[in-house]
Chains A and B, each alone.
Chain A
Amino acid sequence: PIERARFPLNAPTYDPSYFSMPGSYGSLVELVVKQTEAVQAKAGRYENPEEHPFFPDDLPPLPQVLNSAAVSVNVNKKIWDVYFNKLLPLFVSSGDDGNYASTAARDLECLQVLSRRIHYGKLVVEVKFRDEWKHYEPAIRARDKKTLMDLLTAPAVEKAVKKRVAKKARIFGQEVKVGDDSDENKGKYKLDPAVVSRFYGDWVIPLTKDVEVQYLLHRLD
């Protein structure tokens, strides 16, 4: 997001009617994402189970290396909606500088990073399951989402995560000047740490838990 925040909103990027051939491609960001994913698929990106395409139907079929539980869990549609409708408007300035292609490329990077992080829940929960499968098994067999969610929720850890990402946003997003460690620049960040922290709390952590629950529900299939 820091690098996306270099550009203003650049609304034409998201406007399907901006193209010379409206209707054929969707918006510019969809064109860039679909076609870039096709290139990355050819290079083998999606053979890595940690990577999830946003438009899997547009890709050639992938080799099945995972159990079906893992493969079927893909919340990218939700991540896409949340990124464009909830997160993006919060951290970019309004305006238009014409750099729609670069804007779309940065959006894709943000989407990919978020997607990887959220789907990492599968790995997290596989480890938890192996450590404590006695606790999870009854709830899985009963398809009891609520209990599973409670088992997966650790408020202290979640709080620490939110604090740490805010700290990272402050550190990585600061203006760095030579010589001057004065307080002139404290408080000026490329990305508001509170936005990042809240985004983790409202979306990243809950979506990761959704992934974890969905994965567990398939785990004994």
Chain B
Amino acid sequence: MSVVMMLTTLFLLASSACKHEMARAEHNNVTLEMVRDSLIRQEDTIVYSLIERARFPLNPPTYDPSYASIPGFSGSLLELFVKQTEAVQAKAGRYDNPEEHPFFPDNLPPSLVPHYKYPEVLHRAAMSININKLIWDMYFNKLLPSFVSPGDDGNYALTAARDLECLQAISRRIHYGKLVAEVKFRDERKDYEPAIRAQDRFTLTNLLTFTNVEEAVKNRVAKKAMTFGQEVKLGDDGDKGKYKVDPAIVSGLYADWVIPLTKEVEIDYLLRRLD
């Protein structure tokens, strides 16, 4: 490697490291409002990803291990796709970010990029919390059949890609519970500490439940599904009532899964917070 190239690389690494230090200092002051804003923005991502998946019918061969018949691999096309895509993204450093959780964490290749110094906000207990298996089961067994039309249009690769986006968006939102819990803990330590020391899930669940906030979230995601899922035509503001994804399904996803599973993550995190 020439001297010039080496110096350039070092310069770039050094300047990005300075920026990261600044980012870390700012981010240690993460507030509940910042966390809530992020959750709100993540709703949009989830709604968009569901809309994009709904462009395709169910496409069952995507999920059928006997369809794929890939030598040396015994899963479905979807599993192959997710494992290999996660491997690419791991090499690009995706899972260095504590907000990202792979669905197939075993055997991921190491990152090829310099380790980015993400702000250290969470207790180290966070690293062992990964409920993606539950999310995967929920998505394929409960959610998917409820919002896509039956049928097969042959686009299995595209279908798998859209599924992965939905999974990643939902996973990120649910695991964000760790950050939510950390912020709440810092704000109101006195309230949480006794329950944590007593490992009292019931009290923690009550402390973490704000029914009016949850109602607002469910209403808002339904509204987003209506807004983002509408047909847009010029001139004509008719066609109300036709949506790419049923708003009730999105609202139900949040009520039955996203909100409860996020709370699970929050409780799991808090129970270990004083270790």
Interface residues of A (CB under 8 A from B): 2-3, 6, 12, 15, 17-22, 25, 28, 31-32, 35-36, 39-40, 42-45, 48, 51, 96-102, 104-105, 160, 163-164, 167-168, 171-172, 174, 176-178, 190
**Chain B residues whose C-beta falls within 8 Å of the C-beta of A40 in the assembled complex:** 81, 157, 161
Query: Given A43-B81, A167-B232 in contact, is the A35-B91 Cβ separation under 8 Å?
Result: yes
**One of B9, B19, B156, B232 near A43 (C-beta < 8 A):** B156
Residue positions of B touching A, CB distance < 8 A: 1, 5, 8-9, 12-13, 16, 19-20, 23, 41, 44-45, 48, 70, 77, 80-81, 84-85, 88-89, 91-94, 97, 100, 112-114, 116-118, 154-158, 160-161, 216, 219-220, 223-224, 227-228, 230, 232-234
Q: Is the CB of A100 within 8 A of B81?
A: no
Residues from chain B with a CB closer than 8 A to the CB of A101 are: 89, 92-94, 97, 113
Contact present for A164 and B223 (CB under 8 Å): no
Q: For B89, what are the chain A residues with a Cβ–Cβ distance below 8 Å?
A: 32, 101-102, 105
Query: Are the CB atoms of A100 and B93 closer together than 8 Å?
Result: yes
Provided the pairs A6-B41, A21-B112 are in contact, do residues A172 and B157 lie with their beta carbons within 8 angstroms? no
A17 and B5: CB pair below 8 A?
Answer: yes
Q: Are B20 and A98 in contact (CB under 8 A)?
A: yes
User: Are B112 and A20 closer than 8 Å at their CB atoms?
Assistant: yes
Q: Smallest Cβ distance from A91 to chain B, in angstroms?
A: 16
Whether the pair B112, A48 counts as a contact (CB closer than 8 A) is no
Chain A residues, CB < 8 A from B20: 98
Q: Find out whether the CB atom of A28 lies under 8 angstroms from the CB atom of B48.
A: no
Complex Cα–Cα for A18 and B5 (A): 11
Contacts of A168 in B (CB 8 A): 232
Which residue in A44, A105, A178 is a CB contact (below 8 Å) of B216? Answer: A178
Nearest-Cβ distance from residue A67 to partner chain B, whole angstroms? 20
Nearest 7 A-B pairs (CB), nearest first? A101-B94, A45-B157, A101-B92, A43-B157, A98-B116, A35-B88, A39-B84
How far apart are A170's CB and chain B's nearest CB, in angstroms? 9
12 A/B residue pairs, CB under 8 Å, sorted by A = A6-B41, A17-B9, A19-B113, A22-B9, A28-B113, A39-B81, A39-B88, A42-B80, A43-B156, A96-B16, A98-B116, A168-B232
Interface of chain B, helix or strand or loop or mixed?
helix
| Max count, chain B CB within 10 A of own CB: residue among A32, A43, A100 | A43
Specify which chain B residues have a CB less than 8 angstroms from the CB of A43 in the assembled complex. Answer: 77, 80-81, 156-157, 160
Q: Are A171 and B232 in contact (CB under 8 A)?
A: yes
**A residues within 8 A CB of B219?**
178
Point out the residues of chain A lying under 8 angstroms from B155, CB to CB: 48
Q: Are the C-beta atoms of A171 and B230 separated by less than 8 Å? A: yes
How far is A172 from B100 in the complex, measured between Cα atoms in Å? 25
Partner of B92, one of A6, A104, A167, A174: A104
Complex partner residue of B156 from A35, A44, A99, CB under 8 angstroms: A44
- In contact, B118 and A98 (Cβ under 8 angstroms): yes
- Contacts known (A17-B8, A43-B157, A101-B94); A25 close to B112, Cβ less than 8 A: yes
Q: Within 8 Å CB of A19, what residues of B?
A: 112-113
Which chain B positions have C-beta within 8 A of A28? 92-93, 113
Indicate if the CB atoms of B227 and A100 lie closer than 8 Å: no
Known A-B contacts A3-B45, A40-B161; A12 and B92 likewise in contact (beta carbons under 8 Å): no
Pick from A6, A17, A99: contact of B45, CB under 8 Å: A6
Q: A96-B16, A176-B220 are in contact. Are A164 and B234 (CB under 8 A)?
A: yes
